[in-house]
Structures are given as C-alpha cells and as structure tokens.
C-alpha cells in the first residue's frame, strides 16, 4: 500500500454550517481535534454558508459523525475511504509503469 | 529517439526535474533552465525560461506551481503549459506572438521539499519542510511568508498550524529565492501567476485588505477575459475577483507581495475541483484542467501586451 496504508478508513467530511451558531459549534467540535482542513485552511476561517471540507482520521470519524448528527448540522462524506482514493489516483501510474 | 513523457499523469519530483533537463536539451531554441537557489533541504529551485531568444529585454510573465505540496495539479499544469508553448510555437500564431514578445519564467515545483514529502510520507502535506527549534512541528505556509502585511489576519503564529506564517518574513529559502529573483527582474516582469488548488477561482489583490487596487479596471478586465477563455474550453464557470472578498482574508501572500513590488498583474489560480475529489483530482482530469487553464493564462499574457 502507498504511504503504508496510513489513510485507510480516513474520511473527508463536507459540512454546510448554515448560521453563526452552527459555525461556532463546528469550531468547537473540530478545533480541538487533529483534523486536516482542506477548505478553508483553518478552523478560524469557517463561516456560515461556506462549505467546509475536512479530513478526519479513521479513529475520529465515529465521533465526528455522532457530534454532527447530535447538533443537526448538515453534512456529507465526500471521500469515504481516503486510502482507496489515493490508490486509485496513483493506480493509473502503476499501470503506466506496467505499460 | 522521440522523448516520451506522459503529461496526463502526476510525476514525482525526480521525474519533473529530469523532464526539465530534457526540455532544455531538446528545445534549446525556446527553453532555458536555471536555478534561483536552494530549498531548506538543499534541493535546487529550478525555473524554465520559455520564449524566443532575443537580444532586447522582453517583458516577462512569471508562473509558479506547487507552492502547497499536496496540490499536485499545479506542477502538472506547469509542465503542460511548457509543452503546449513549445509544441504550438510553429502552429499557433497566438502562442508564437506571446513567445516572440514575452519571456515566461515557469517554476514547476516551488515547494520542492514539501512536494517530495507529499510523495513519500504524507500525501496531504501543505507547507515547506523547515524545522522549528522550539516546536516538533515542521514547515511554514509558503503563501503566508511573503513580506507584505506579514502574519496578520488569515495567517497563524503557531508552528503547528497549516497556515503558519514563519518566524519572520522570507524565512523560507524558497520564498526568499523567488522574491530575490522577482526583485531583480521587476522592471521586466509584468505579470505574476501562482497556481494553487482547489476552488475553481481566479484571484487578484488584495488578500490582506478589502481596499480596491489602483488599476482595478485593467486587472478585472484581464481576469474576466481569462475566465471567459477558460469557460470556452469545457464550460467550467470560475469565480473571480479580489482574494479578500472572493475567498477570504489572508496575509503574507505572494500575489500581494508581487503587486506591492510593482508587478501590475498578479493572480492566483485555484484550479479544479470544488471539493468532490479535492487534492486527489484524478489523472483523467489533468488534460481538461490544464487545457482550460492554458487558455486563461494565454489570455492574461495577451493582456500584458495590450495597453490598458
């Protein structure tokens, strides 16, 4: 596996905070966690009606799912298994090598 | 034998550097290669100079790719643009006019250490790879490290944050080297373009404040023609405008620094997509993304040659 399979089970959440309350709640949920902000670049830039894409590690995904549901914040999972997507993106290359 | 290179896959740093040497060797009439310095880990910072050789001092356009390591579509675009420029010089009168009248300085990988690290250890690394003697975290955000409203809103003072501005402006050798080159050539460099991902936007100054730039009409017109040209390829709609309002406030950015240092047209492209694949844009989308972006860059370069 690429990167020693370190991204297996990691997910990218796509979250849609609708108002200031949800923005603040989201900052409270994600701020203390070791997450990787894809968009925007950091928790401090989260604002209402702007999509948040965040990479969450495998072990933290259940907690993030639970908290977002509990707070009724609108979200989806844009990448359900990051390792698979990485293998897929690089799969073309390895096949190229074979070619 | 004909140099075979696949422009529709992502390439490692080593492959990109070999390709640069090969382009310099095989396209010597249009392509020169030089280094502007060394990275934190000692890697050379290679730049390609593309354009018809000329004794007179030509206007220049600077394009850098790969400031943020994980944004692999950037380096793919820089390589694509060089290939497009060289291969269409004879066939396309528009490109021939650009290469006859302008010099393009193209830096396929700005953050060479970070890019290498994103291929080998951490696919989603963003920053450079400099060390901080007080913290275990490494790296500075190379787009928060330029000497313009440095480390203010939209940048972080914490070394472990992804938008860390660094211990001081131009602390990163990569930023210092490019700034030094642009300062030296600023009379000739009329446009600065930095390629990022992802958001499908074309951004211009200011990033650090909401004020309108003095030559707003000309820059807005160039941006509009660029996104119109881009749209014409595959119908993709880009948002465009001042970075502070179109995206968000950030300080220490390269486009603000270049603009403040006298370069009249400075842009940051945020290429595909808008989050579906994010940084993992499939190789199957390299072609369309680079084709449309090449049209936009040519439109900006044409604007540089016009009076505004």
pLDDT digit string, tens, across residues A41-90 = 999 899 999 999 999 999 999 999 999 999 999 999 999 999 999 998 87
Work out the mean pLDDT of chain B and round it to a whole number. 96
What does B255-282 look like in DSSP terms, one character per residue? HHHHHHTT-SEEEEEEES-SSSSGGG--
CB contact under 8 A, B275 and A39: yes
| Chain A with chain B: Cβ pairs closer than 8 A | 62
DSSP structure string for A71-92: TT--EEEEES-HHHHHHHHHHH
Task: Kindly state the average pLDDT of the residues B33-46.
Answer: 98
The answer to whether B245 and B210 are in contact (CB under 8 A) is yes
> Taking 80 as the threshold, does the pLDDT of residue A92 lie above it?
no
The confidence score (pLDDT) of residue B2 equals: 58
- Give me the pLDDT at residue A69, please: 97
Tell me if the bond preceding A88 is cis, omega within 30° of 0. no
Listing from the earlier edge strand, what are the strands of the sheet with A75-79?
Answer: A36-39, A52-56, A11-15, A75-79
As given in the structure block, the two tokens for residue B59 are: 């206007």
Average pLDDT in the B148-173 region?
96
Average pLDDT for B164-192: 97
Confidence at B4, pLDDT banded by 50, 70, 90: confident
Asked whether residue A97 carries a pLDDT value surpassing 50, the answer given is no
Q: What are phi and psi of B72, to 5 degrees?
A: -65, -25
- DSSP letter at B64? E
Crossing angle, helix B286-305 and helix B93-101, to 10 degrees?
Answer: 60
Alpha helices in chain B (DSSP H): 13-26, 73-87, 93-101, 112-120, 173-184, 216-234, 243-246, 254-260, 286-305
- Predicted confidence (pLDDT) per residue in B108-125, tens digit: 999 999 999 999 999 999
Distances (CA, A) of A56 to A88, B67, B69, B90, B255: 19, 24, 19, 49, 31
Q: Do residues B110 and B16 touch, judged by C-beta distance below 8 A?
A: no
Give mean pLDDT, residues B203-230.
Answer: 97
From the list B244, B202, B268, the residue with the least C-alpha distance to B68 is B268
* pLDDT value at B74 more than 90: yes
Residues from B in contact with A at Cβ < 8 Å = 6, 9-10, 121-124, 141, 154, 156, 161-163, 198-199, 248, 250, 275-284
**Residue of A11, A41, A44, A87 to mutate, testing the B interface (most B Cβ within 10 Å of its Cβ):** A41
Of residues B161, B199, B278, nearest to A12 (C-beta): B278
C-alpha Rg value of chain A to the nearest Å:
15
Question: B86-111 pLDDT, tens per residue?
Answer: 999 999 999 999 999 999 999 999 99
Distance of alpha carbon A87 from alpha carbon A5, whole angstroms: 9
List beta partners, residue B202.
B240, B269
- Interchain contact, B278 vs A2, CB within 8 Å: no
Residue A89: predicted pLDDT? 82
Find the catalytic residue in B84, B174, B270, B292: B270
């Amino acid at each position: 596996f690429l990167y020693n399979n370190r991204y297996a089970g990691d997910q990218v959440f796509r979250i849609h905070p609708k108002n200031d309350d949800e923005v603040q709640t989201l900052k409270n949920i994600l701020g203390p966690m070791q997450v990787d902000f894809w968009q925007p670049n950091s928790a401090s830039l989260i604002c209402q009606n702007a999509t948040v894409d965040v990479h969450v590690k495998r072990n933290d995904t259940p907690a993030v799912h639970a908290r977002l549901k509990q707070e009724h914040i609108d979200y989806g999972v844009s990448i359900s298994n990051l390792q698979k997507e990485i293998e897929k993106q690089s799969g073309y290359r390895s096949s190229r090598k074979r070619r | 034998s004909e140099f075979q290179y696949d422009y529709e896959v992502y390439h490692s740093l080593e492959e990109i550097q070999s390709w640069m040497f090969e382009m310099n060797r095989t396209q010597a009439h249009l392509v020169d290669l030089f280094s502007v310095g060394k990275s934190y880990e000692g890697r050379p910072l290679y730049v390609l100079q593309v354009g018809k050789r000329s004794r007179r001092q030509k206007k220049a356009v600077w394009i850098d790719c790969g400031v943020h390591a994980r944004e692999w579509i950037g380096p793919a675009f820089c390589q694509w643009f060089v290939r497009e420029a060289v291969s269409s010089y004879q066939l396309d009168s528009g490109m021939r006019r650009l290469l006859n009248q302008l010099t393009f300085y193209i830096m396929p990988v700005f953050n060479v250490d970070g890019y290498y690290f994103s291929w080998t250890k951490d696919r989603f690394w963003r920053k450079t790879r400099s060390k901080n003697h007080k913290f275990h975290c490494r790296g500075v955000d190379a787009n928060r490290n330029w000497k313009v409203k440095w480390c203010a809103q939209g940048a972080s003072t914490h070394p472990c944050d992804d938008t860390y501005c660094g211990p001081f402006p131009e602390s990163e050798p990569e930023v210092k080297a490019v700034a030094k080159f642009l300062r030296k050539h600023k009379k000739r460099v009329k446009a600065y373009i930095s390629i990022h991902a992802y958001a499908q936007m074309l951004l211009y100054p200011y990033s650090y404040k909401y004020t309108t730039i003095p030559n707003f009409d000309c820059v807005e017109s160039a941006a509009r023609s660029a996104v119109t040209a881009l749209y014409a390829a595959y119908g993709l709609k880009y948002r465009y405008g001042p970075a502070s309002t179109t995206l968000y406030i950030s300080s220490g950015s390269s486009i603000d620094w270049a603009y403040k240092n006298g370069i009249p047209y400075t842009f940051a492209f945020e290429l595909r997509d808008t989050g579906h694949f994010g940084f993992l844009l499939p190789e199957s989308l390299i072609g369309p993304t680079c084709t449309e972006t090449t049209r936009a860059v040519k439109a900006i370069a044409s604007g540089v040659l016009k009076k505004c």
